[in-house]
Structure 1
Amino acid sequence: MRTGFDLTPYRRSTVGFDRLFDLIENNARLQQGDNYPPYNIERLDEDRYRVTLAVAGFKPDEIDITAQQNLLQISGRKAEIAESDTSKFLHLGIANRGFERRFELADFVRVERADLADGLLTVELVREIPDAMKPRKIAINGKGEVIDITAGDKNAA
């Protein structure tokens, strides 16, 4: 898959960045696809995000939200309108099509909750970095004390 630029030289000279290059290439391919439904991504706080999709006409039981490791997939499937029901319409302009949106998530990002109101589906995301992965300041005093940068207190190692 070719994007607007060639990533091959970077792939040859880096180690461990394959996932990043795959994300860039997959995103470039998805940009060429369908833009339905429209969506917003907001950063609410340092570790809190919100994805909002305009899903007018969809009911909660017609929307499926699946969170896997590093992937949020939102899909919607409308029930088919029966042939006898379409004869009642003088104009049928509201889209009755399904959709699927995929969002790549960073490590340690999880879905907190999802709400559907006024035709907008909002999915709240939170990044929770495990304590073992948070940066720690190591004191150089030979006593084995560890200072937690995030809390600012000393913890015995």
Structure 2
Amino acid sequence: MRTLDFSPLYRSSVGFDHLSGLLENSRRVEKKQSGYPPYNIEKVAEDEYRISIAVAGFSEQQVEILLQDGVLSVTGKKESKQGEEQVFIHKGIAGRGFQRKFNLSEFIKVKSASMANGLLHIDLERETPEALKPTRIPIGTEQPYAVNSNAA
């Protein structure tokens, strides 16, 4: 088991203390979450991302997407059919519900969500505020100050 010591980073950084908690939580979540359903995270453009989740067998009404406190949660709930007993010779298609959670960065916004061909697509965009964008400072030319040699 490896341990990480973040104390050298804290000495020269302000406001990044949540990173160690995020890393620690990701280790715990990874152990708890199964690989179901599979998903992809794709960088579409410089500030655009897409999460694609395989949700074959789920309808749009059975899938819920929530964004709360920077955590995007996708939940799929299958309702059991009461009264209909099915007899399977082999059951390889998963019929269980699921929940996937994704931690989003501070300025990541959900643009849209769509479902096609058994895939749920969630489009994300980074919206950096104008105040945080780099500002180019023009270099001007000033006349040098003349030193008055008569002043004594």
TM-score computed with the length of structure 1 as normaliser = 0.77
Whether contact under 8 Å (2:72, 2:102) holds in the other structure is: yes
Check 1:10–1:28 CA distance in 2 against 1; reply closer, same or farther (3 A cut): farther
Moved over 3 A (4+): 6-15, 87-93, 139-142
Partner of 1:137: 136
> Where does the alignment leave 5 or more consecutive residues of structure 1 unmatched?
143-157
Measured in 2, the distance between the counterparts of 1:43 and 1:9 equals 32
How far has the Cα of 1:140 moved from its partner? 5.0
Larger Rg: 2
Partner of 2:68: 68
- The answer to whether structure 1 residue 27 and structure 2 residue 26 are counterparts is yes
Measured in 1, the distance between the counterparts of 2:80 and 2:107 equals 38
Provide the aligned C-alpha RMSD in A: 2.4
Partner of 1:43: 43
Measured in 2, the distance between the counterparts of 1:95 and 1:58 equals 11
Q: Which has the higher strand share?
A: 1
Whether contact under 8 Å (1:67, 1:110) holds in the other structure is: no
Measured in 1, the distance between the counterparts of 2:134 and 2:10 equals 31
Check 1:7–1:74 CA distance in 2 against 1; reply closer, same or farther (3 A cut): farther
- Matched position secondary structure for 1:97: coil
Count of residue pairs the alignment pairs up: 140
How far has the Cα of 1:90 moved from its partner? 4.5
Measured in 1, the distance between the counterparts of 2:38 and 2:87 equals 29
CA-to-partner distance for each residue in 1:88-120, whole Å, 9 max, x for gaps? 545443222111111111121111111111111
Partner of 2:124: 125
Same amino acid, percent of matched pairs:
41
Measured in 1, the distance between the counterparts of 2:81 and 2:90 equals 14
Which deviates more, 84-93 or 101-110? 84-93
Measured in 2, the distance between the counterparts of 1:15 and 1:88 equals 60
TM-score computed with the length of structure 2 as normaliser = 0.79
Measured in 1, the distance between the counterparts of 2:99 and 2:18 equals 22
- The answer to whether structure 1 residue 59 and structure 2 residue 59 are counterparts is yes
Which is bigger in relative contact order (C-alpha 8 A, separation at least 6)?
2
